[in-house]
Amino acid sequence: MDDSSDGGATAGSTKKKSAAAAAKGKATGKGKAASKAAPKSKESSLLKQKSPAEFFAENKNIAGFDNPGKSLYTTMRELVENALDSAESISELPDIEITIEEITKSKFNTMIGLVDRERVDEALYDDFESSKAREKRLAKEARFQETQAKNAALGKKVKDTPAARGKGRGEASFFRVTCKDNGRGMPHEDIPNMFGRVLSGTKYGLRQTRGKFGLGAKMALIWSKMSTGLPIDIKSSMKGQDYITFCRLDIDIHKNVPHIHLHEKRENNGHWHGAEIQVIIEGNWTTHRSRILHYMRQMAVITPYAQFLFRFLSDAAEKNLTIKFARRTDVMPPVPLLTKHHPSAVDLLLIKRLITDTTKPNLLQFLQHEFVNISKAHADRLIGEMGPDFNAKTTVNSLTSQQLVRIHQLFRQAKFDDPSGNCLSPAGEYNLRLGIIKELHPDLVATHASSPQVFEGHPFIVEAGVSIGGKDVKQGLNIFRFANRIPLLFEQGADVITRTALKRINWSIYKINQQQDKIGVFVSIVSTKIPFKGTGKEYIGDDITEIADAVKSALKQCCVQLKSKIVKKLQAREQQDRKRNLNKYIPDVARTIMETLGELADESPPKRPRFDKEDEELLEKINSEEVTEMTFRDCLTQHVEQVDYEMALEYAMQSGVSEEPREAIYLNSLEGSYKFVDFQSPAFVFRFIP
């Protein structure tokens, strides 16, 4: 009976569950749909992996490929910076040619063998304009023309007719970007992996580098594959090689491996060395033309030892452009050195990786050789502070996770000497000053370089320049930002350099008018780690006190130099005004003196007071007309000129400016290689050739 009652209860509960399920399915109308959706949830829960190439292809905005215009700019920038690195790595004065060739959609289709088709269904396209929309647009244009005609009749300002704005995305434009350099070149067998495998390269390690992500031309290749589907062409030859490597390849996005179309060796009859990279991408020259040209100009400022030839080619002749940024000096910054990590700048993961890669067997040698500023004596003290579980002969591979945490905590709390800036490669005051003068032609310029400073265990150097006047410079502050010797053009408002120049410098106390003067502000920061903010790495945050203080101090030093020059210039201007005013009154003063002395000379001797012998002689000369009004004019003019010369000489001695006539001296350049020693100062470089 109990069994039957249990069975009845079970059956009843089953019926209730079935009824509830049926009611739920009927209420939602998803009975069958819900049962079919179950397998999909299993599929969606399967783990999937993405290759690095696939990740950056889906998140291309991280690397600066937000849109076609920005992609064209970023592609050009990456190729130029790679070319500079390549030439500087072998101490070769960079000679770089950049060509951007516009390819119309029709020309691009012909290139890939695609036949153009005429539109059949116009309403299908994004730029289609219906008859109603056309009537509305024409009516609006008619009203605008009528308003402008009334304004013209009343003498008011007439506006230009606004350009018609299409609804659609517009015609796609394609560009062939070519960059040729005279740098190191690349080994024949390494080229496929250097271009076709993301996150592989030769610049990884702790050193000052121009690159932001380590992608270089790889991202340009990914964008090319996404926008045109065409491969990249690479020519390369290393110094002394009798062949040129030619490689045509693209990238397998999902596998992150190169797909080689052609890889061969060709004759190198001209003994050329360097690299030439050519890629065809979708872009927009119109929206980013100014950015690209500003980038080239700022790159010429920070690298005056490089020569750039920039060309833009188009079927429309009026759009063609050729600009040469000439080399101004052959003094190059030193090559940045690979350095070791500072103990205060490492984390647990980095400590583990250093232990994996080290060749040192015990803890004492590991601390000495894998970190900077840890001597043998300091390492012994650190090991003693770690506790009884540690000793100098402890093998690093046997350290437990708890012991690694103890080492990391001690690194964070212990006191270490700051790292030196010997591994850094700033542009140099001389080069910065020369670059500013070369590109802006200012009236005044001042530069300053800070001593090496430290934030979070990373050394950094701030170089600053401030100029007054110049060509193509707007009134007010014109801010030029550089990080590891590359220009930063985007997201300027939140940058530490911009905020310091706008809010933390009182320009008026340095005799500089922030609103009316044409002020150029140049700040270059170099470091083994630039603290970029944002995904695009286009600005340096304002929240790092050490960097903000260093930028402010460097700019103030420049302003102090400029104030001295401006004050002297104002004094010279006041002197000129004083001379001009004196010369203006000389005729009146000479006439008054002559009239007064003439009256004295006309008086009879008894009535005339007695004078000295010299005065009597002067009166006699006036009576005989040997001394006239012109004589007094000449004497006064000569006296003003003499005083002006003495004041000008004193000004020249104070400012170091010679007023003597200058003679041009021409020096023949030395041919061939020779040994020399450079003695550098902010204003000049003295080269001693033994």
Q: Binding site for ATP: residue ranges?
A: 82, 181, 202-203, 211-218, 537
Instruction: Give the DSSP letter of residue 672.
Output: S
Q: Is there a contact between 416 and 342 (Cβ–Cβ < 8 Å)?
A: yes
Determine the Cα–Cα distance for residues 643 and 578; give it in Å rounded to an integer.
Answer: 11
- The owner of tokens 């370089």 is 449
Query: Hey, is 166 helix, strand or coil?
Result: coil
Q: Is there a contact between 446 and 355 (Cβ–Cβ < 8 Å)?
A: no
Q: What is the dihedral of CA 50, 52, 58, 62, to 10 degrees?
A: 140
Report the largest interatomic distance among the alpha carbons of the chain, rounded to a whole angstrom. 169
Helices 545-602 and 629-655: crossing angle, nearest 10°?
160
Q: Which residues of 249-277 are buried (b: 16+ CB within 10 A; e: fewer)?
A: bbbebeebbbeeeebeeeebeeebbbbbb
Q: How far is CA 281 from CA 53, 102, 174, 287, 407, in A?
A: 17, 10, 6, 16, 50
Phi, psi of 63 (to 5 degrees): -95, 10
Determine the Cα–Cα distance for residues 178 and 83; give it in Å rounded to an integer.
Answer: 11
What does the block give as tokens for 38? 């179950």
- The owner of tokens 């080069």 is 431
Determine the Cα–Cα distance for residues 196 and 252; give it in Å rounded to an integer.
Answer: 8
CA 284 remoteness from chain centre? 21
